[in-house]
């Protein structure tokens, strides 16, 4: 399936781009993260500590164990600091 991946804040800076489109068969977010980590050092660095990351699926917060079936947009970012 084709998925848009978005990166924000220091995740974006570490990976070096704000968004990309990937072809993947990963069944869960965690599986997608494993695929990304295997690509290049900058991905491995960005995803080194999942406890420092949050994920949204189609703009709703989700867990790393969430299934990717039917998802169009995945976003990775640090804990929010608005307000």
Partner 1 sequence: MAVRVQAEAFDHGAEVAAFGQGGRDTGAVVTFLGIVRDDSGRMTAMEIEHYPGMTERALQAIEAEARARWDLTDCLILHRHGRLAPGEPIMMVATGSRHRAAAFAAAEFLMDYLKSRAPFWKKEIGDDGAAWVAARDEDEAALSRWQPKG
Which residues are at the interface with partner 1 (CB under 8 A)?
6, 8-10, 12, 56, 59-61, 75, 77-83
Q: Which is nearer to partner 1, 21 or 59 (CB)?
A: 59
Residue 19 Cβ, how far from partner 1 at the closest point, in Å? Answer: 11
Residue 67 Cβ, how far from partner 1 at the closest point, in Å? Answer: 19
Distance CA 36, CA 73 (A): 15
Q: Which is nearer to partner 1, 25 or 74 (CB)?
A: 74
Q: What are the CA-CA distances from residue 30 to residues 58, 72, 83 (Å)?
A: 16, 16, 30
57 token code pair: 């699926």
Residue 82 Cβ, how far from partner 1 at the closest point, in Å? Answer: 3
58 token code pair: 């189609």
Q: Which is nearer to partner 1, 23 or 60 (CB)?
A: 60
What DSSP element (H or E) covers 21? Answer: strand 19-23
């Amino acid at each position: 399936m084709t998925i848009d991946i978005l990166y924000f804040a220091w995740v974006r800076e570490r990976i070096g781009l704000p968004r990309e489109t990937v072809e993947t068969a990963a069944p869960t977010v965690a599986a997608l993260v494993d695929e990304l980590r295997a690509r290049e050092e900058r991905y491995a660095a960005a995803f080194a500590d999942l406890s420092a990351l949050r994920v949204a699926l189609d703009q709703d917060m989700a867990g790393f164990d969430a299934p990717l079936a039917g998802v169009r947009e995945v976003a990775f970012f640090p804990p929010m600091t608005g307000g």
